[in-house]
């Protein structure tokens, strides 16, 4: 599904990712854990194709090097990023945004665009599962949403767009335990042999609900250790200090 | 990086820029008494109107162009312009569709305004003005049957002189300001509407203005009278060919609402804006003013201004009748090197008068966008209320937005409220949209349409969708 080879990413003089390598096969769930500032969000942006980075190396997605593709082209090919800090867009109602987005992706995949009626029934169905109130769908995108509402909204979009690779950047931060469970249920419902996940988190507790196949520790822009889901529990006890020292 | 990104490629294709190849009759070049006499004669006008024009012309000699506005423009040589241009085989007076030059019919078809009544949008009557003359008015008979007068102003001068004489210049006096006075001297055509007492006009009335000839100014005059307890919704649209030189458009529009009457006036202005480097385009210097003369009357202006090199206009309301209300809803979009200085004046004279101003300015490229407004509450206007909201949206870093609200409240029981915001489409917002599969243009269009939704909703249904498309097209390529 995804193969990142010798990826270097910098902004101006600042090198953020250095010699970063990662392989994710179809159906796998990978977790990346690491201290603040280690470059996790930058990795997610580089994968999603945000402008403003100097990128060197290869990102193979479904056997195609996507390094030179624009963000919308990558999204249309099936990459989804749940933002750590979802953006507010005043005046643009959620319903309208979600429908435009869904149809843009469907069009790119040569699927039939959905009409208003189909869309509404689809979105309501997903919203209900995620505990999103219907009136929220009629509000401006993320404007005045609480932290939890914003994060659920990200998961809602992921469920609608059905990506091949979903990257979740600290989707668990700022959630209470009930919200955390709902979000985890949303992710688990999407798990399939054809879909892969890259889950970025600080805390092991999300991984109690979403069992990863692999856990990577990221420090200073590269992966310093890889293990199975047990590694997350160890990290929770000993922290990142050991790894930071090692560098 | 993001700056480059935002400034890249500013391309916009103007779809209405073609020229109709047609022979025309023109007044001699220049501005003088003889030209005014020529225009008046062409139109077989009564003596009083010629005198009125000449009075305006005389007055003009002692006036100078205003210069307080933000957009500056090169000096206009008024003697180098033509003040009257009509298709050659054009006959004044009412005519059937068969009599209209096929070239002109084709022009309107191309513009999406077929003059053939069967092809027209149901429920919309159109007056088509081509350069200096009205070439067709549709659904006239049907409207006449219920007492609505909808015709060119030239025809109204012939057929309803008492109404024209009574109301022409009653809202915009001869002496108002340079461009308004110029218009009074040389106005050529435009629409006339009279809605009889108690009637709710069952159709949208609309005028479509087209400038075709080169070096020609368009000076149209529109007069709308809503008699007691009547209602009318009126829409104007405008386009012009792409030409290298700037063309002057100085219209006067007067609205009169009597007791309990309501006039809703919508404009979708898409004059040629000039090219990407700012060459050519229309100078749109227009005076629009309505008076709520009677009690409980209402005038509502809605405008979507996407065209013109320079737009300079302030559709205003004089709230004279007690309990009358005025509204101004505006979207002004400037791209490339376009400039707009637009807003409104709400003059509260009567008791319990209300006004509401919602202005959405969008600026992209190197463009400049100013909201300028006046809310004036006179001493006797007790319990008057105004609400003003001005929002500006910037696309990129090279454009400008300015808000200049004047408030003058002379009555202690009256209140005014003003809110203003300026925001920018951020790289983060665009990235978020793109991550969800939208391309750059779709993203901008979505954000901008969201930004001006409140105003778009004011447009008559038939035109809201068109306007929404126009908003997107106007900003196409404004961001790389
Ligand atoms: N646009 C940028 N310009 C300069 N430095 C940046 C930029 N983006 C991120 N950084 C820096 O790169 C490092 C990694 O940031 P980030 O990817 O947000 O880390 P994480 O998500 O792991 O907390 C931090 O030191 C941060 O300050
Ligand atoms: Mg982060």
The predicted model gives B453-471 an average pLDDT of: 78
What percent of chain B lies above the pLDDT cut of 70?
80
Cα separation of B251 and B222, whole Å?
8
Q: What is the DSSP letter of A104?
A: H
Show the beta-strand stretches assigned E in A89-152: 89-93, 140-141
Provide the phi-psi class of A11: left if phi over 0, else alpha when psi is between -120 and 50, else beta: beta
Is the predicted pLDDT of residue B51 greater than 80, yes or no?
Answer: yes
Q: Which of the residue ranges B91-95, B255-259, B317-321 would you say has the lowest mean pLDDT?
A: B91-95
Place of tokens 């077989």: B44
The predicted model gives A51-73 an average pLDDT of: 95
pLDDT 10s digits, B117-139: 545 455 566 777 666 566 666 67
ipTM over the 0.85 cut-off: yes
> Which helix (H) or strand (E) segment is A19 a member of?
strand A14-24
- Pairing outcome for strands B149-152 and B133-137: unpaired
Q: pLDDT band at residue A155, thresholds of 50, 70 and 90? A: very high
pLDDT 10s digits, B210-240: 666 666 677 889 999 999 999 999 988 766 6
Q: Which of the residue ranges A4-8, B74-78, B170-174, B200-204 would you say has the lowest mean pLDDT?
A: B74-78
Place of tokens 């139109």: B43
Is the predicted pLDDT of residue B71 greater than 90, yes or no?
Answer: no
Residue A240 neighbours by CB under 8 Å, 6+ apart: A33, A34, A35, A217, A219
Is the predicted pLDDT of residue A90 greater than 50, yes or no?
Answer: yes
pLDDT of res. B478: 63
**B319 φ, ψ (degrees, to nearest 5):** -95, 85
This prediction has a pTM of 0.83
> Which helix (H) or strand (E) segment is B144 a member of?
helix B140-145
User: Cα(A27) to centroid of ligand 1, in Å?
Assistant: 29
> Which helix (H) or strand (E) segment is A234 a member of?
helix A230-238
**Higher-pLDDT residue of B2, B361:** B361
* Mean residue pLDDT across chain B: 84
pLDDT 10s digits, B376-412: 999 999 999 999 999 999 988 888 899 999 999 999 9
Q: Do the Cβ atoms of A89 and B453 come within 8 Å?
A: no
Q: What is the DSSP letter of A23?
A: E
Q: Per-domain residue ranges for chain A? A: 2-246
Is the predicted pLDDT of residue B346 greater than 80, yes or no?
Answer: yes
Question: Which member of A49, A87, A105 has the closest CB to residue B432?
Answer: A87
Cα separation of A150 and A196, whole Å?
23
Q: Which atom of ligand 1 lies nearest, measured to the CA of A43?
A: 17
Q: pLDDT band at residue B11, thresholds of 50, 70 and 90? A: very low
What would the DSSP string read from start to end of B82-135? BS-EEETT--SS---GGGS-HHHHHHHHHTT---SGGGSPTTEEEEEEETTEEE
pLDDT of res. B237: 79
Is the predicted pLDDT of residue B466 greater than 90, yes or no?
Answer: no
Closest listed residue to residue B448, CA positions, set B344, B369, B309, B331: B331
Q: Do the Cβ atoms of B438 and A157 come within 8 Å?
A: no
Is the predicted pLDDT of residue B96 greater than 70, yes or no?
Answer: no
Q: Tell me which fold the domain A2-246 belongs to.
A: Rossmann fold (3.40.50)
pLDDT of res. B475: 73
Q: Which atom of ligand 1 lies nearest, measured to the CA of A53?
A: 1
List residues of A whose CB lies inside 8 A of any B CB. Answer: 48-52, 70-72, 75-76, 80-81, 83, 86-87, 89-93, 96-97, 100-101, 104-105, 108, 140, 157, 161
User: Cα(B208) to centroid of ligand 2, in Å?
Assistant: 55
């Amino acid at each position: 599904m995804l193969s990142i080879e010798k990826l270097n990413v910098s902004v101006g003089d600042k090198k953020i990712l250095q010699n970063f390598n990662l392989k994710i096969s179809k159906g796998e769930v990978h977790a990346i854990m690491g201290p603040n500032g280690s470059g996790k969000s930058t990795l997610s942006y580089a994968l999603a194709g945000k402008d403003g980075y100097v990128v060197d190396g290869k990102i193979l997605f479904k056997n195609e090097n996507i390094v030179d593709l624009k963000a919308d082209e990558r999204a249309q090919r099936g990459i989804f990023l749940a933002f750590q800090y979802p953006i507010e867009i005043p005046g643009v109602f959620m319903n309208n945004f979600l429908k435009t987005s869904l149809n843009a992706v469907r069009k790119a995949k040569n699927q039939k665009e959905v009409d208003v009626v189909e869309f509404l029934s689809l979105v309501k169905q997903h919203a209900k599962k995620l505990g999103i109130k219907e009136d929220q769908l009629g509000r401006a995108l993320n404007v005045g949403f609480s932290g939890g509402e914003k994060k659920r909204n990200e998961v809602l979009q992921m469920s609608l767009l059905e990506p091949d690779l979903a990257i979740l950047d600290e989707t668990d931060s700022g959630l209470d335990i009930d919200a955390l469970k709902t979000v985890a249920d949303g992710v688990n419902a999407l798990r399939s042999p054809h879909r892969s996940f890259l889950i970025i988190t600080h805390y092991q507790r999300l991984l109690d609900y979403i069992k990863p196949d692999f856990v990577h520790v990221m420090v200073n822009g590269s992966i310093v250790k890889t293990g199975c889901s047990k590694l997350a529990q160890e990290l929770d006890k000993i922290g990142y200090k050991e790894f930071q020292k090692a560098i | 990086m993001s700056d480059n990104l935002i400034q890249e490629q500013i391309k916009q294709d103007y779809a209405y820029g073609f020229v109709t190849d047609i022979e025309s009759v023109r007044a001699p070049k220049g501005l003088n008494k003889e030209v005014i006499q020529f225009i008046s004669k062409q139109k077989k006008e009564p003596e009083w109107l010629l005198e009125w024009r000449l009075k305006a012309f005389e007055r003009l000699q002692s006036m100078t162009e205003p210069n307080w506005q933000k957009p500056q423009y090169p000096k206009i040589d008024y003697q180098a312009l033509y003040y009257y241009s009509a298709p050659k085989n054009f006959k004044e007076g009412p005519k059937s569709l068969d009599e209209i030059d096929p070239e002109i019919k084709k022009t309107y078809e191309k513009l999406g305004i077929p003059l053939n009544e069967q092809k027209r949008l149901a429920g919309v009557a159109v007056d088509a003005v081509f350069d200096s003359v009205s070439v067709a008015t549709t659904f006239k008979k049907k409207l006449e049957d219920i007492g609505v007068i909808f015709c060119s102003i030239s025809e109204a001068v012939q057929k309803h002189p008492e109404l024209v004489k009574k109301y022409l210049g009653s809202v915009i006096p001869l002496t108002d300001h340079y461009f308004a006075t110029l218009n009074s001297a040389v106005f050529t055509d435009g629409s006339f509407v009279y809605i009889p007492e108690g009637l709710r006009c069952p159709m949208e009335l609309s005028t479509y203005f087209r400038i075709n000839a080169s070096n020609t100014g368009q000076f149209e005059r529109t007069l709308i009278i809503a008699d007691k307890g009547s209602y009318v919704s009126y829409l104007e649209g405008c386009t012009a060919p792409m030409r290298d030189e700037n063309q002057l458009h100085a219209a006067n529009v007067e609205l009169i609402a009597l007791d309990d009457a309501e006039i809703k006036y919508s404009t979708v202005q898409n004059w040629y804006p000039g090219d990407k480097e700012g060459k050519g385009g229309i100078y749109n210097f227009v005076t629009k003013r309505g008076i709520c003369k009677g009690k409980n009357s209402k005038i509502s202006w809605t405008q979507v201004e996407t065209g013109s090199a320079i737009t300079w206009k302030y559709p205003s309301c004089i709230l004279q009748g007690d309990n009358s209300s005025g509204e101004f809803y505006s979207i002004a979009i400037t791209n490339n090197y376009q400039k707009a200085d637009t807003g409104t004046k709400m003059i509260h004279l009567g008791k319990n008068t209300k006004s509401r101003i919602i202005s959405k300015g969008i600026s992209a490229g190197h463009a400049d966008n100013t909201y300028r407004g006046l809310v004036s509450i006179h001493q006797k206007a007790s319990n008057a209320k105004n609400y003003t909201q001005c929002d500006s949206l910037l696309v990129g870093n090279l454009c400008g937005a300015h808000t200049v609200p004047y408030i003058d409240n002379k009555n202690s029981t009256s209140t005014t409220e003003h809110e203003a915001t300026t925001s920018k489409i951020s790289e983060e917002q665009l990235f978020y949209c793109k991550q969800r599969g939208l391309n750059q243009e779709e993203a901008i269009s979505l954000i901008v349409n969201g930004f001006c939704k409140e105003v778009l909703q004011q447009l008559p249904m038939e035109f809201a969708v068109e306007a929404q498309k126009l908003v997107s097209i106007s900003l196409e390529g404004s961001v790389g």
